[in-house]
Amino acid sequence: MVRSAPTSDHSRDTIAGAYSSPPWWYDIRGLFILTFAYRSTLGRQVRLFGRNIGAYHLEVAIGSGSLLDIILRWRRWKGLPRVQIVGFDYAEPMLVGARQRFSGKPDMALLHADVSSLDFADASFDSANIANAMHCFSDLDGALAEVVRVLKPGGTLAANVLLYPRGPRLLRRIAEQINQWGMRKGILYTPYHHAEIREKLIASGLAIVAEEVCGNAYNVVLRKPPEPV
């Protein structure tokens, strides 16, 4: 399949404006998109991201924080250790929801930031998650370069990426309509072909640890190579 050119203007202000809805509506909309565009499940996302959080963790494009909240509850239920988390987003309305959700938690810092220009020192974080967002970045190569830069050697990145619709014709058609709406709205830059996004991730300097294609989503865990001895 030949990639269609994105139809929306993905300036920073346009992207921020696309997330101007109240956080509760964003969460409902997100569950609908997860079910019919990603053709994945919340449980699969929780396990993917919940297992890949290190002692000092970066949550990229945290949104309203609803998914991270569920992930942290899952980690407590599993008896996994507490961690220090820095979460950021470019859309202020989403940060409002996240700040309300995580108010009073000393192990959580929430910042307004642009993924393509992060104000963190090199090799700062043990891990990073990019949940439901990589396909929203207009400058994916720049975003990956920054995330790789701030990861410690040996640090991990877990991500899921929206793929072009697959599977039965009806489900594929529904997902295509949702994707077209998302691009017009400004919340989606583009889906990817599996081979294409895999190549981009490897080109960023990360090594693939685990990967799977589930529905219309590519779930992947990567590691930054350790420093030479």
| Mean pLDDT, residues 52-80 taken together | 97
Task: Evaluate whether residue 187 is within a structural domain.
Answer: yes
* Region of poorest pLDDT, from 3-7, 193-197, 207-211: 3-7
pLDDT, tens digit (0-9, with 9 covering 90-100), for 135-192: 999 999 999 999 999 999 999 999 999 999 999 999 999 999 999 998 988 889 999 9
Q: For residue 126, which of 106, 156, 148 has the smallest C-alpha distance?
A: 156
Q: How many domains would you assign to the chain?
A: 1
pTM: 0.89
In this structure, the strands spanning 151-162 and 125-130 are: parallel
Task: Evaluate whether residue 2 is within a structural domain.
Answer: no
> Using CA atoms, how far apart are residues 178 and 59, in angstroms rounded to an integer?
25
Question: Quick count: other Cβ atoms within 10 Å of Cβ 4?
Answer: 13
In this structure, the strands spanning 56-60 and 125-130 are: parallel
Question: Quick count: other Cβ atoms within 10 Å of Cβ 77?
Answer: 9
What's at 131, amino acid-wise?
A
pLDDT, tens digit (0-9, with 9 covering 90-100), for 94-118: 899 999 999 999 999 999 999 999 9
> Using CA atoms, how far apart are residues 67 and 182, in angstroms rounded to an integer?
19
CATH number for the domain including 74?
Answer: 3.40.50.150
Task: Evaluate whether residue 1 is within a structural domain.
Answer: no
Task: Evaluate whether residue 169 is within a structural domain.
Answer: yes
From the number of C-beta atoms within 10 Å of its C-beta (0-12, 13-18, 19+), residue 161 rates as buried
Domain that holds residue 26: 12-223
Task: Evaluate whether residue 6 is within a structural domain.
Answer: no
